[in-house]
Amino acid sequence: MSKKQTTIQDIAKKLNITASTVSRAMNDHPKISKKTKALVWNTARELNYQPNTIASNLRKGKGNTVGMIVPRINRHFFSNVITGVESVLNPAGYNLIICQSEENYEKEVENVKTLISNRVSGILISLSIETQNIKHLQKIIKSHIPLVMFDRVNEKLNISQVINDDEAGSYEMAIHLLGQGIKDIMWMGGPRSSSIYRNRYNGYKRALEEHNIFAEEMPCFEGSPTLDSALNYMREFLKSGKCPKAIFCTSDYMAMGTIQALYEKGLNVPNDVAVTGYSNEPFAGLISPKLTTVEQFSEEMGRATARLLLDQLLSESDEPVPRKIIIKPKLIVRETTQKRKKNNKFIKNKQEL
Amino acid sequence: MSKKQTTIQDIAKKLNITASTVSRAMNDHPKISKKTKALVWNTARELNYQPNTIASNLRKGKGNTVGMIVPRINRHFFSNVITGVESVLNPAGYNLIICQSEENYEKEVENVKTLISNRVSGILISLSIETQNIKHLQKIIKSHIPLVMFDRVNEKLNISQVINDDEAGSYEMAIHLLGQGIKDIMWMGGPRSSSIYRNRYNGYKRALEEHNIFAEEMPCFEGSPTLDSALNYMREFLKSGKCPKAIFCTSDYMAMGTIQALYEKGLNVPNDVAVTGYSNEPFAGLISPKLTTVEQFSEEMGRATARLLLDQLLSESDEPVPRKIIIKPKLIVRETTQKRKKNNKFIKNKQEL
DNA sequence: TTCTACAATGCAAACGTTTGCATTTATTTT
DNA sequence: AAAATAAATGCAAACGTTTGCATTGTAGAA
């Protein structure tokens, strides 16, 4: 009934043996007799013993938890990456401490500090939009904690990373639009200070240039990749009276805001304007018209990231070779980029993919 | 350059003082002189010292992490609860270890074991659908680890909990349908072995009974609360040729499946059949017709849960009074339950709520 | 000057494990 | 039966902190 948990000492005392023996018995050490092991295991159960991982880790000088820093956990993309990470890390005996930077640089630095203090065995990070300075990441490396970046990475840092081929995904999307005969494609993206939006812009630009169109001459909005941000901007923009034939949004939420603004102006999607998303949010295939977008295989990205970390955790070498995994995204053509023949109806088939 | 992290011992050695002094200096202990503190802090920075929280926790006999077990992290509802929890726990100095049971009882038991072994200061749990046996929860209590249940709780266990008033939310929804003059309302719900679905069913039943309708006589499906599960069932069901005037789904995903099946049969929503969801997923206001559903205030639930735990962590009493917080959900009437006059158009206004 | 008081620091044990080495006990070999 | 080997267990230190108590140093009071 005491407040304390039972320890191996308690078991030892009860059996008139030492803690060492109990410890070894619990770990199924070959030098301990079957009889003693059985005795130990039984009293362990009896006393409701739970090993103290903390103490064990301290003694062994290594832990079983890895830290993960993401901008926001309640984003479909990130929560899926997390699922992927856990699916690899848990079977390998690791726990995950998840931190949110909330797209805030200071908070990200704070998170790093916490994780180092908690002596996590490794850290997985996707940078906040704000992050430019990477002193905190270098601190991780200096502390000899294996570090893997994913999705939003810093290109100056030569460490393992898993990214989407955003350039390619975006290029394909632009080619798809150009293939529809559309020449003026507005850019509506997240801030290009972040690697992913920069790369998406580059893919878009490359596709246009191959058709002798200059991205710089297209209308362009760069801002927070949210529904409201897009909605507000487009409302203003459309007041000018002119409107491009397609709008390339770098997030499904921006696409939703854009479509809404277009609708308010009485414009039809896709017949008047084609609109694209990016990320394939769960709703993308459920709305009407269904949203053309890019699938990023977020769970697979999580698994790859975790595997890269695991490699480093297992190989005891202090200077692992940085590896870079690039995941190919997949263009998902739905309805918002294809002119309709007959009247568009609500949910025709089973959701694609 | 060595693999080891710097410790207070290193700092002590460098300054020719003891570890005790360094420890106290780092913790800003009043008995340490300003001069020494400054010295310690400087060399700490110099040597890139990061306190070892693990060792500290071991010595102090208490930690700064709390564990959280949820069925799935990549569900909008749960990831929002998590966000709420973190918004309360982080400022209070706690980290969160998140575990997923994946709706699997064995995995949940495993999770509990891990968290106890990691000597978390407290545990927050939402039970898996499968969970009936609660020995593992009793083990937590026996280990004197504060425990708070949320959303999917076990009613036999007299501990703190935060739940939605599912009965009321469901009741309101049913009343709303009945108010449309609809008398036959099919039930399409998750398994009633889980508290939330049981309560939702009870609310539905009560509303019907007030109108002298017996829930038992209504068509009814009980299964996995997913799109596919609903879709498959409804496809079969509709082959019978008859169809109720409304279908009460206990999840937005079930609603999506249901709507799809109805559409395949050429039935119109809401003109032929009204359909409801539950949870207000992000897509609920984005699809067309927009889905009538129930907002659960998941983030608020997370905050409340965390606060309840914090109460227990701070009050040192070993036998805290269990508290129960009930969060009132809110009915959000959109388009799937209101017959249209003119032709339904895509996204009329800014998204509600 | 001696005593008292307080400020600053040191000493050593403790938290619960793990582990190399030493020791005891049992078993086999000669 | 003695010696050599093998098997099982014990001893004690270590992991990096924290903390009650002891010790030292310094300044003010008597």
Q: At residue B234, does pLDDT exceed 50?
A: yes
Q: For residue B7, give the nucleotide whose C1' atom is nearest its CA.
A: D16
Nucleotide of closest approach to B58 (CA, C1'): C15
Rounded mean pLDDT, A303-332? 91
> Cis omega (within 30 of 0) on the bond before B225?
no
Taking only Cα atoms into account, the Rg of chain A, rounded to an integer number of angstroms, comes to 26
Using an 8 Å CB-CB cutoff, list chain A residues near B80.
Answer: 74
pLDDT at A345 over 80: no
- In tens, the pLDDT along B8-39 reads 999 999 999 999 999 999 999 999 999 999 99
SS3 assignment, position B63 = coil
At A223, give phi and psi (nearest 5°): -170, -165
Q: By C-alpha distance, which of A208, A4, A319 is closest to B62? A: A4
Sign of CA pseudo-dihedral B149, B155, B158, B160? positive
pLDDT > 70? residue B227: yes
The pLDDT, as a whole number, for residue A280 is 95
Q: Which one is predicted more confidently, B252 or B340?
A: B252
Of B62, B66, B139, B142, the C-alpha closest to B108 is B139
CB A163 within 8 A of CB A326: yes
Peptide bond into A282 cis (omega under 30): no
* SS3 sequence of A17-75: CCHHHHHHHHCCCCCCCHHHHHHHHHHHHHCCCCCCHHHHHHHHCCCCEEEEEECCCCC
Q: In A, which residues are within 8 Å of B52 by CB distance?
A: 58, 117, 119
Query: Which of A:79-138 have CB within 8 Å of B?
Result: 79-80, 82-83, 86, 95-100, 113-114, 116-119
pLDDT at residue A353 tops 80: no
Domains of chain A: 8-51 (1.10.260), 64-159+298-326 (3.40.50.2300), 166-292 (3.40.50.2300)
Distance between the alpha carbon (CA) of A1 and the C1' atom of D3, Å: 53
CB–CB contact A95 B97 (8 Å): yes
In the numeric block, the tokens 């897509």 are attached to: B283
- Put simply, the answer to whether B259 touches A5 (Cβ < 8 Å) is no
Q: Following DSSP, what letter does each residue of B45-56 receive, concatenated? A: HHTT----HHHH
Spacing of B34 CA from D27 C1' in Å = 18
pLDDT (average), residues B182-207: 95
What is the residue type of A86? E
Query: What is the pLDDT at residue A184?
Result: 93
- What are the backbone angles phi and psi of residue B67, rounded to the nearest 5°? -100, 150
Q: Tokens for A228?
A: 């409201």
Query: Distance (Å, rounded) from C-alpha B10 to C-alpha B44?
Result: 9
Q: What is the mean pLDDT of residues B279-303?
A: 94
Mean of the pLDDT values across residues A166-179?
A: 97
Is the pLDDT reported for residue B351 higher than 70?
A: no
> How many whole angstroms separate alpha carbon A205 and alpha carbon A209?
6
- Counting one residue from chain A and one from chain B, the pairs whose CB atoms sit within 8 A come to 148
CA atoms of A345 and B181, how far apart (whole Å): 27
pLDDT at A196 over 90: yes
pLDDT of residue B344: 43
Cross-chain residue pair B144–A3, CB shorter than 8 Å: yes
Average pLDDT over residues B114-139: 94
| Nearest nucleotide by C1' position to the B24 CA atom | D18
Checking DSSP bridges between strand B220-222 and strand B246-249, what pairing results, if any? unpaired
pLDDT tens per residue across span B156-165 = 999 999 999 9
Give me the percent of chain B exceeding a pLDDT of 70: 95
Contacts of B345 in chain A (CB under 8 A): 263
* Share of residues in chain B with pLDDT > 90 (%): 83
Does B68 score more than 60 pLDDT? yes
**Measured in angstroms, what separates residue B22's CA from nucleotide C11's C1'?**
14
d(CA B86, CA A100): 9
Q: What residue type is assigned to position B32 of the chain?
A: I
Question: Which positions 46-105 on chain A have a beta carbon less than 7 angstroms from any atom of strand C?
Answer: 49, 51-52, 55-56, 58-60
User: How far does CA A160 lie from the centroid of its chain?
Assistant: 15
Higher pLDDT, A247 or A5: A247
Q: What average pLDDT does the structure give for chain B? A: 92
Q: Are B335 and B292 in contact (CB under 8 A)?
A: yes
Query: What distance, in Å, lies between the first and last C-alpha atoms of chain A?
Result: 55
How far apart CA A55 and CA B151 sit, in angstroms, is: 33
Sheet holding A324-327, edge to edge: A324-327, A161-164, A147-150, A122-125, A65-70, A95-100, B95-100, B65-70, B122-125, B147-150, B161-164, B324-327
**A146 cis-preceded (ω within 30 degrees of 0):** no
Q: What is the pLDDT of residues A47-86, one digit of tens each?
A: 999 999 999 999 998 888 999 999 998 889 999 999 999 9
Mean pLDDT of B209-227: 95
Please report which residue ranges of B214-314 form alpha helices under DSSP H.
227-239, 252-264, 298-314
User: What residues in B contact A54, CB-CB < 8 Å?
Assistant: 54, 57-58, 63, 118-119
The first and second tokens of residue B78, run together, are 């749960």
Whether A117 sits inside 8 A of B53 (CB atoms) is: yes
B123 pairs with which residues across the strands?
Answer: B67, B147
**Above 90 in pLDDT, residue A2?**
no
Structure tokens at B261: 């099946």
Asked whether residue B316 carries a pLDDT value surpassing 70, the answer given is no
Strand D contact at CB of residue A205, distance < 7 A: no
- On the question of pLDDT at A216 being above 70, the answer is yes
Cα(A170)–Cα(A158) distance, integer angstroms: 25
Which nucleotides of strand D lie under 7 Å from a protein CB? Answer: 7-12, 14-20
Angstroms from A54 CA to nearest CA on chain B: 6
| Strand, coil or helix: A253 | helix
**pLDDT digits 0-9 by tens, A110-143:** 999 999 999 999 999 999 989 999 999 999 999 9
pLDDT band of residue A349 (cuts 50, 70, 90) is very low
Q: Does A190 touch chain B (CB under 8 A)?
A: no
* pLDDT confidence bin for A317, thresholds 50/70/90: low
What confidence category does residue A316 fall into, taking pLDDT thresholds of 50, 70 and 90?
A: low
Does residue B348 surpass a pLDDT of 70? no
Helix (H, G, I), strand (E, B) or coil at A292: strand
Residue A173 clears pLDDT 80, i.e. is over it: yes
Contact B259 A55 (CB under 8 A): no
| Residues of chain B found within 8 Å of residue A79, distances taken between Cβ atoms | 73-75, 79
DSSP for residue B126: -
The answer to whether the CB atoms of A117 and B74 lie below 8 A apart is no
